[in-house]
Amino acid sequence: MWRTAALVSLALATPYGAAAQAPLVVGAALPQSGLYADLAAGYGKALLLWQDEVNAAGGLLGRRVELRILDDGSQAVRAGALYEKLIREDKADLLIGPYGSAATLGAAAAAERARRVLVNGAGALRAVHKRSPRYVFQVAPPYTAYGAGVLELARGQGLKTLFVLARSDPASREMAQALREAAVPLGLAASDLEVYGTGTSDFAPQVEKARAARADAWIAFGEVRDAAEMVKTFKRLGYAPKLFFAQGAADPKFVALVGQDAEYALGLAEYDKGLATSGNDAFVKAYGAKWSSEPGLAAAQGYAAAKVAEEALKRAGSTDQERVRDALAALETETVLGRYKVDAASGEQLAAKPAVVQIVRGRREVVWPPGLATVRQVLPYAPWGERKLLQPGSS
């Protein structure tokens, strides 16, 4: 398990003599057991990879880096107390946020009380930065930015009316509501938010509403099976909006669920090993060499958070929390998740946005942002009667 590897990694990456300075301690609390342990494993593995890389290059500020990773048992309610322990007992010089927004809220509160810097790697809910914390800085895109790409595509196609849906969970609702708010200044008219329940398999009532509203675009935030059931409903009813976006359509399982009917669907990729973001190719290779697996979103979040923390420490030139805090507030740098730039007052991420992908000839291709695009988008969404069967080996 990666927890055991943490101890081995630290021992192998410690070529310093006894007279060397005390280690630079970076603390985090992650699910190493319980319900979310497998989902969060990549986050911890990426932090360990970063520790190896930094120490192999001579450490930070003349000191070797020592990770202290505690187990929150997949219980977000424990995060606050664990981060207090990292601050008071482990004397952490810097904190990397936990996995997930609920845990990040508790960790952020502990960091604020102690006036200790925390780099938020995986807390995407708006609530984390709503009260403008002074010492918490977000690296990954917030959920409020998840609709940015599809809005740009819709506007570029001259579309005017959007039918907006969200699965009945807080994250999906926040993504959808933020998109509705962002649509207004772009001259786009968004419907009232249509919320559907977990396990919905027939979207005929929603299609009827979209048709009645003469919606140009269908934009949905949810999971891969939701996207698949939407496509099945569309085909059965002969419905094809000019633009079809479903967050879950970027999941590799989407094509497996609906086959060639997946063509032309747009989806959202928070991270992909093939993205041409800064340092991503080297990260994928290094992660694979160390862990014999490919990095996913959690790994990218952990690695990006650590690299941002590293750059801030270098610019601050010390572990003084006010200097590190000021460095993070002013910092602009590239990560495997995109550009890091935050609101100096709230620490909320402003620059990084998830990529939009489209299924083209059975493959996921990046179509937005332009700087990462692998093909040009194929729009409008093709009517069912005009589609042709793809032949094996066609390109």
Helix, strand, coil % in the chain, rounded to nearest 5: 45, 20, 40
Beta bridge partners of 29: 70
Instruction: Provide the pLDDT confidence category of residue 21 given band limits of 50, 70 and 90.
Output: confident
* Average confidence (pLDDT) over 180-185: 98
The set of residues, in sequence order, having a beta carbon less than 8 Å from that of 364 and lying 6+ positions away, is 250, 252, 267, 269, 272, 357, 358
For the stretch 337-373, pLDDT in tens is: 999 999 999 999 999 999 999 999 999 999 999 999 9
Cα–Cα distance between 353 and 244 in angstroms, integer?
A: 19
Q: What is the pLDDT of residue 391?
A: 66
Instruction: Provide the pLDDT confidence category of residue 392 given band limits of 50, 70 and 90.
Output: low
Nearest 5°: the CA angle 367, 371, 377 is 20
* Average confidence (pLDDT) over 381-386: 96
The amino acid occupying position 373 is: A
Q: 6 pLDDT exceeds 60?
A: no
What pTM, to 2 d.p., does this model score? 0.93
Which phi and psi angles does 223 have, rounded to 5°?
-105, 175
* Average confidence (pLDDT) over 171-193: 98
The Cβ of residue 365 has, within 10 Å, a number of other Cβ atoms equal to 17
Exposure of 137 in the CB half-sphere (CA atoms within 13 A): 32
CA nearest to 128, candidates 136, 116, 119: 136
Torsion over CA: 378, 381, 386, 390 (sign)? positive
Instruction: Provide the pLDDT confidence category of residue 3 given band limits of 50, 70 and 90.
Output: low
Specify whether the backbone of 171 is left (phi greater than 0), alpha (psi in -120 to 50) or beta. Answer: alpha
**Which spans in 184-296 are helix H?**
204-212, 224-237, 253-258, 280-291
Let me know: does 354 contact 368? Beta carbons within 8 Å.
Answer: no
Q: What is the pLDDT of residue 123?
A: 98
Q: Which domains does the chain have, with CATH numbers?
A: 2-141+275-340 (3.40.50.2300), 145-269+354-385 (3.40.50.2300)
- Classify each residue of 154-174 as buried b or exposed e, where b means 16 or more C-beta atoms within 10 Å of its C-beta: beeeebebbbbbbbeeebbbb
- 354 preceded by cis ω (within 30°)? no
- Cα distances from 301 to residues 51, 88, 128, 193, 281, in angstroms, run 15, 26, 16, 29, 15
Q: What is the pLDDT of residue 18?
A: 31
CA nearest to 123, candidates 382, 348, 356, 383: 348
The amino acid occupying position 196 is: Y
CA nearest to 223, candidates 251, 203, 196: 251
Cα–Cα distance between 330 and 192 in angstroms, integer?
A: 38
For the stretch 301-336, pLDDT in tens is: 999 999 999 999 999 999 999 999 999 999 999 999
Q: 15 pLDDT exceeds 80?
A: no
Which carries the bigger pLDDT value, residue 17 or residue 125?
A: 125
For the stretch 215-253, pLDDT in tens is: 999 999 999 999 999 999 999 999 999 999 999 999 999
Cα–Cα distance between 190 and 129 in angstroms, integer?
A: 26
- Cα distances from 18 to residues 14, 15, 23, 228, 301, in angstroms, run 10, 10, 11, 59, 34
